[in-house]
Amino acid sequence: MASFKNYLSLIKFSHTIFAMPFAVVGFFLATQHYQYPFEWHKLLLVVLCMVFARSAAMAFNRYTDRYFDAQNPRTALREIPDGTITARNALIFVVVNCLLFITCTWFINPLCFMLSPVALTVVLGYSYTKRFTALCHFVLGVGLGLAPVGAFLAVSSRFEWLPVMYGFAVLCWVSGFDIIYALQDEEFDKSHRLNSVPAWLGKQKALWLSNLLHFFSALLILSAGWYAGFGIWYWIASAVFLTLLLYQHTLVSATNLSRVNLAFFTTNGIASVVFAVLVLVELFCGS
């Protein structure tokens, strides 16, 4: 019988570190920069929404890709192909997390509740996109880019340009590093008629596109700081984030993919956490 640890492994719970910090930034943008009231229960509900939505999305991705994962040497030992978790139980896990996500949005505000099916459509629908478009990386980027926007809406019930700018920054950032990660499966994707940017353009051009996306992400991060009139702590946060964006591109080349995991997980995880912490310092202590 599968353990709780097996389910955490199934959904790669540690990868929550990518979007969660930006959700926290979106939440405190609303309370500190736009001066909406702070409520502890809403912060908790936002965190739970992030956990439930991402858990549903990741488990559904593993469920829909189980036949491909079983044939790919890199993924053959994942929990569903190796029988640790049955496909049926994985699907039940998806449904439960979707229901928990929708329930949390009900307790946040009517707008979040009404938009919850849209969010789930994006994060679950991503799992099928690789079957018909190489733009699948951008759909993943949209899914994670909803984090700062959704957290802001949880507090404010209205759209503002600043969290939307962060949403687009996350979209470009995530799409860029997902393209890097997909370099590992270029040949497998081609042989199984799956779509990805590396399978479409080749490794070198895929890396160029990833560079371009991270340039736009950096531009949006800087533009958001200028638009909001943030001070020194924000610019330190931006410098760290941009430096780590640049650094990950020194780790990977078209002929050397040995450090993809370092570029994908470690570098981006550090970038998001440090950026969020320093932005919070700016929001709470900046002039």
- What pLDDT does 287 receive? 58
Q: Give the largest Cα separation in the chain, rounded.
A: 56
Quick: pLDDT tens for 51-94.
Answer: 999 999 999 999 999 999 999 999 888 889 998 999 999 999 99
- Give all domains of the chain, ordered by start, each with its CATH number: 14-285 (1.10.357.140)
Long-range interactions of 162-165: CB distance < 8 A, separation 24+: 162/29, 162/33, 162/224, 162/227, 162/228, 163/26, 163/29, 163/30, 165/220, 165/223, 165/224, 165/227
Among 15-19, 173-177, 194-198, whose mean pLDDT is lowest? 15-19
- What pLDDT does 262 receive? 74
Question: For 248-253, what is the mean pLDDT?
Answer: 90
Q: E-assigned strands of 231-285?
A: none
| pLDDT at residue 1 is higher than 60 | no
The pLDDT confidence band at residue 2, using thresholds 50, 70 and 90, is low
Question: For 250-263, what is the mean pLDDT?
Answer: 86
